[in-house]
A = this chain, B = another copy of it.
Amino acid sequence: MGVSLVCTGCGEQVDDEKALRCPGCDGPLELPEVVGGRPGPRVAGETLIERYKDFFPFANGRADLSLGEGFTPLVKLDGLGKRLGLSSLWGKNEGANPTWSFKDRGTLAGVIHALESGYSRIGTVSTGNMAASVAAYGAKAGLETVILVGRGLPREKLGPIAMYGARLIKVDGDYGRLYYESLWLAKDRDIAFINSDAPFRVAGSRTIAYEICEQLNFTVPDWVLIPVSAGGNFRGIARGFREFFLSGLIDKVPRLMAVQADGCSPVVRAFEEGSPKVGRFDSPHTVAHAIENPFPPSGNEVLRLVRENGWSCRAVSEDSILEAQRELAMEGLFVQPASAVSLAALKDAVRDGLVESGQSAVLVLTGSGLKYTAVFGQHDLTWEESTLVSLGDALDRR
């Protein structure tokens, strides 16, 4: 493949396409910026990589490895948008992916990279969306796949990963260290760890931005709100808009908002304290489990992007997350709590005057509500009862 990577921390060029973090400063790596690319003509059944081939260093789109990821709906949320005084509000529904989260985009790119770089195994460290995604694409590619999870993961969370036949290892020890340990162990082994902010996973996340631009006919919204966990998806989306801007496809870059939950908000805390670095967040706890990452490996880079671009960064309360999840469902989109943080933050930002009346916004809805059904117990869900005989009367009551 012969692509060089660039360190997001020190800016060094790294001429090892297999590298996952900077050998110098340990910063996350990324692909060089692509300028002058063009999305291809619209072709039935094309993969994301085929459509955006100018933006990936791959020889071919590897349709044989695709499960049909991406090309997700951008759904107009008219009721909510109107209530918030916005000119337009959309939800980018990533729950319509093959394993029902945005992770599939980066997993496909990561698997192609792994195969083109000569790996015979892939793996990841995850407890949820990413584990299922890597297991599914490993199965599709016929690659041995290793999923590392924490020792305490309950059986009902293991099921959706184990179904795909991946090798699942429950690891006893500090789960936070597992991300770094996996990178260290991968060095001497032939396992491509497609972790949360691996360069090609982040490259795959750019396609969310590319698609939003295309779906809005190359105009851009004022705001794009993105739930932040490890930081890889935020980095990818930021890069995607920037590349389309530098390629002359859009005339400005939208303002991005990095959103976390109050119960685990290491990036927001560093931003508000004016710290140069993101520190570990003690005792994280939030209903938005999928973004409960106390020490995000790309946190510093998200912080830098937000500061340099004058973007925004905020955390939201548990109650507001549940309320937002319900409000999105009432517009037809049942998302996981970690996705609903985007709407919760938008509402707060409108209230605070940061997002202004008449502006437009896109919510990145990262995954399906079916991913976390334990949440039903926290909602006030109601139903009525009737007999068959009295059903007519029940229907006549409005």
Contact = CB atoms under 8 A, between A and B. Distances in A.
Contact of A96 (B96, B156, B189): B96
A100 interface: yes
A181 B391 contact: yes
Interface in A135-178: 136-137, 139-140, 142, 144, 146, 148, 151, 155-156, 158-160, 162-165, 167-174, 177-178
Interface of A: 42, 44-45, 63-64, 66-68, 71-76, 78-79, 93, 95-100, 132, 136-137, 139-140, 142, 144, 146, 148, 151, 155-156, 158-160, 162-165, 167-174, 177-178, 181, 185, 189, 191, 214-215, 217, 325-326, 329-334, 368-371, 373, 376, 379, 381-389, 391-392, 394-396, 398
B189 A395 contact: yes
A231 to B, nearest CB: 23
Contacts of A72: 68
B333 A171 contact: no
A167 B384 contact: yes
Copies in the complex: 2
A181 B72 CA distance: 38
A274 to B, nearest CB: 34
Nearest to A178: B388
A381 B170 contact: no
Contacts of A67: 73, 75, 93, 332-333
A67 B329 CA distance: 12
Contact of A388 (B158, B171, B215): B171
B163 A326 contact: yes
B379 A163 contact: yes
A383 B136 CA distance: 16
A368 B369 contact: no
Contacts of A167: 384
Contacts of A73: 66-68, 98
Nearest to A165: B330
Given A68-B96, A142-B79, A381-B162, A156 B388 contact: no
A96 B136 CA distance: 14
Given A68-B75, A162-B381, A395-B189, A139 B329 contact: yes
Given A67-B333, A384-B170, A185 B391 contact: yes
A385 B159 CA distance: 16
B148 A391 contact: yes
